[in-house]
Structure 1
């Protein structure tokens, strides 16, 4: 065999030996990494939660008609209670006349059996031209009403009304304000009503 033929034969053999040595070295290095015990730090365990969901969506229908559509950025289903704790709640309720009532809240509690709900922190309701705000609101599925047992403010850009309690009867497309009710109305709004 000539000198050029030997060089052509030696180069592939050297490359093959290099690949074999690299493979064996890689195998032992990875095996060494995997055999070390892994130390986990800062793990939070919620012993009350049965399941945590990053996104929660639910639709409620009665006789084929949509009553509400709920979305939340997360939900924690509790073990010992039929409750789901919601964050960043965004829900559309529908009246019998198919009017949308849009509610947002920072937190909520959803009863997984009755589908009743409680909303708190930054609760805002958009209903027709009205914006309602309250500390907490409750939804009763059986009666299909939204109610507040704490002070509520109703704003329609031209007037502001405050009441001790409030109820939105979704089946009747009606807002009922109760307790001490007071309002501020703009002159512009009063003049337009007189004409």
Structure 2
């Protein structure tokens, strides 16, 4: 073989050797990335939670009729309990007359078997032109009522009523105020039922 023939043969062999070495290097690099354990930092483990959801939407129906629609920014289902802890709760209750009662609260707890609920911190209910505020409210699904054993305030921009306790019977569109009930009324106050 002459010198020109050797050069033509050496160049492809050098290129082939370079490709093989590059392929082996790439193989070992990828293998290293896949087999190196990943270190996780700043992980919080909630040993009470069985499941944690970043968003929850649930609808409750009775005999095909929607009773409420619930949204929460987070829901934590607790181990060994029939309970879900909710944050940033937004729920719409429906009456038999299909009017809407809108409730918001910072926190909530849902019994996953009975669907009874408790709401706390900045609890507000809006219905038509009325606004009700309380620190805690309880919802009982079976009778479809909302009640509060803490102080409540109901206003319609022109009047304010405060009471020690309250029950809202959603199916009857009736609100019952109990305890020390006080009110401030304006001549512009509405002459209608609260619900």
Q: Which runs of 5+ in 2 are unaligned?
A: none
Structure-2 separation of matches of 1:16 and 1:102: 73
Matched residue, 1:82: 82
Q: Which runs of 5+ in 1 are unaligned?
A: none
> Given the two structures, how large is their TM-score scaled by the length of structure 2?
0.86
Summarize deviations over 1:50-84 as a string: whole Å, max 9, x none.
11111111111111111111111111111111000
Cα RMSD of the aligned pairs, angstroms, is: 2.5
Alignment of 1:30-45 (within 5 A): 30-45=30-45
Q: CA deviation at 1:113?
A: 0.7
Structure-1 separation of matches of 2:101 and 2:136: 16
Q: CA deviation at 1:153?
A: 0.9
Change (3 A) 1:180 1:22: same
Q: CA deviation at 1:16?
A: 5.3
| The structure with more helix, counted as a fraction of residues | 1
Change (3 A) 1:134 1:13: farther
Structure-1 separation of matches of 2:155 and 2:17: 81
Matched residue, 1:164: 164
| 27-36 vs 148-157, which moves further | 27-36
Would you say how many aligned residue pairs link Structure 1 and Structure 2?
Answer: 189
Matched residue, 1:127: 127
Q: CA deviation at 1:181?
A: 1.0
Change (3 A) 1:26 1:162: same
